[in-house]
Structure 1
Amino acid sequence: MIQIVHPAQVLLSKLDGFRVEFKESSSRADIVLDRPPLNLVTLEQREQLRVVFEALDEDRRVRVIVIRSAGEHFSGGGDISGLVESSAERVSRLAWSVSAPARCGKPVIAANRGYCFGVGFELSLACDFRLATETTLYALSERRHGQLPGSGGSARLQKMVGTGRTKDIVMRSRQIPGPQAYDWGIATEFVPDSDLESATDEMVGELLAFSPAAQRAAKRLLNDMEDTSLSIGIEMEGHVNGRLHNPDDYRRHLEALGEK
């Protein structure tokens, strides 16, 4: 009898530089980057992260995903040694893997401290929320290696902060500290480094208070509306809201307001 092994099983036979933590009682899954001291991300790790995000998206027990790091740095960037032997086709697929948090239907939080460079920054930009501290430094420094950001970094950043600031970051390889990232709208929240874990817990708790179906619909709608005109976006919003319409939900809400 021939035993067929799914490619994902081979890919995930040993996680490369990260681990996954999950407690069913919390409805939260943590992806923890753990390759000391800088948590450099290899090419295989990017592919593994994609498969893990896809698996967590399918797991109904998981409602919120957090990506964080062990140690003082989120990630110093990518391990470029793997690029020497890689084909152009494999390199071009890296953007698809790093975009996995954005495609995931569930809320994804990036807890960023210390260095958040290169692919570490790109991975964080693909998340829905970024928490930064006074130790956080964001950078897309591929220009120093004669390359460009290749996993969605410049494209996502341009949507967030505009062309001028993106040129400043990419073309000058500028490092953006946490407070500035928050002022520019790159970071969702800015907290003291000692409060990063508690702030992450608090955000997870807030997200868990909402309907999973509504959260998934909101994320997909907001992602899709980035590339549409205002009129089409309004039309899309109306259709999505109509599909979510449930009179019982409104009735329960009115009853709760009446009790208050």
Structure 2
Amino acid sequence: MTDETVTVDVDDGVATLTIDRPDALNALDVATLERMETAIDGAKTGDARVLVVTGAGEKAFVAGADISYMRDLTTPEAQAYAELGHRVVDAIASFPGPTIAAINGYAFGGGCELALACDLRVASERATLGQTEIDIGIIPGWGGTQRLSRLVGDETARRMVFFGERVDATDAHEIGLVGEVVAHNRLNEHVADIAEELAAKPRFALTAAKRALDAVHEDPLSAGLQFERRTWSGLFGTHDQREGMSAFLEKRDPDFE
């Protein structure tokens, strides 16, 4: 299936969803998020047992959300955008079978949050990850404040969010943000092999295993995600949000309050 900025290929029980906006470093605008939501729902109701998420091109997995769109949002508009992003990320997290992020390059902000929602994360040696929202005057808004610490621990997560730290693939592996790092030219092949192996496992047992593993965090995660959505959208309209996003788009240093 192809829908302009999103493609889905299904082969032997593996659905590969590719965000295809390489000229924009696969940044997630509203249309792309809506297409992703439709594509994931289609994969859920189809024959896919495993979902792979990746980005097109050589530079980026997903460089983040669409800052040019976000810059002038009101709080209610930001809330709606947060809800859309959460629906997409939650659709990945709740996919019945295993999900794999094939991180082929930059995974910042919302891109990192897409990867966090997957069950497994495999990074190219060229990948760089980070929750970089603080530098545009906001916080992670699609699950990053809740899911990151579950992988890397509380203090490491705080440092990444407070400082907007970007970590290369090797450091991401060392802190537990990704499960493994492979040569860039082997990423797709390696992920395909993993996905094929998982797709051959007993379907209902895999689904049961995933649900049991998710149950460890499910209730507190739900409450935390609700808080995150409210807090994230509440930052829109502040000086720092407007200034941070304007400075980013104008390629200058921000002047925060």
Q: TM-score, normalised on structure 1? A: 0.77
Matched with 1:17 is 5
Q: Superposition RMSD on alpha carbons, in Å?
A: 2.0
For residues 58-98 of structure 1, what are the alpha-carbon distances to aligned partners after superposition, in whole Å with 9 as ceiling and x for unaligned?
21x21111111211111211112222346143033122322
Q: In 2, Cα distance between the equivalents of 1:18 and 1:56? A: 13
Indicate how the Cα distance of structure 1 residues 97 and 184 shifts in structure 2: closer, same or farther if over 3 A, else same: same
- 2:249 corresponding residue in structure 1: none
> Residue 37 of structure 2 corresponds to which residue in structure 1?
50
Q: Name the SS of the counterpart of 2:80 in structure 1.
A: helix
The equivalent of 2:160 in structure 1 is: 169
Question: How do residues 53-202 of structure 1 correspond to structure 2 at under 5 angstroms?
Answer: 53-59=40-46, 61-72=47-58, 73-83=60-70, 84-85=72-73, 87-93=77-83, 94-202=85-193
Task: Report the Cα distance in structure 2 between the residues aligned to 1:102 and 1:208, rounded to whole angstroms.
Answer: 17
Contact 1:66 1:109 in 2 (8 A): yes
Q: Deviations over 1:208-247 (max 9, x none)?
A: 2210001111111111122579xxxxxxxxxxxxxxxxxx
Unaligned 5+ segments in structure 1 are 1-11, 230-260
Distance in 1 (CA, whole Å) between partners of 2:196 and 2:14 is 10
Q: How many residues align?
A: 214
Alignment of 1:216-255 (within 5 A): 216-227=207-218
Structure 1 counterpart of 2:22, from 26, 36, 40: 36
Percent of paired sites with the same residue? 31
- Higher alpha-carbon deviation: 50-59 or 141-150: 50-59
TM-superposed CA distance for 1:29, in Å, is 1.2
Distance in 2, Cα, partners of 1:171 & 1:104? 30
Bigger CA radius of gyration = 1
- Mark the CA change 1:167 to 1:209 in structure 2 (over 3 Å): closer, same or farther: same
Instruction: Give the structure, 1 or 2, with the largest relative contact order (CA under 8 Å, sep 6 or more).
Output: 2
Which 5+ residue runs of structure 2 have no aligned equivalent?
Answer: 221-257
The corresponding residue for 2:238 is none
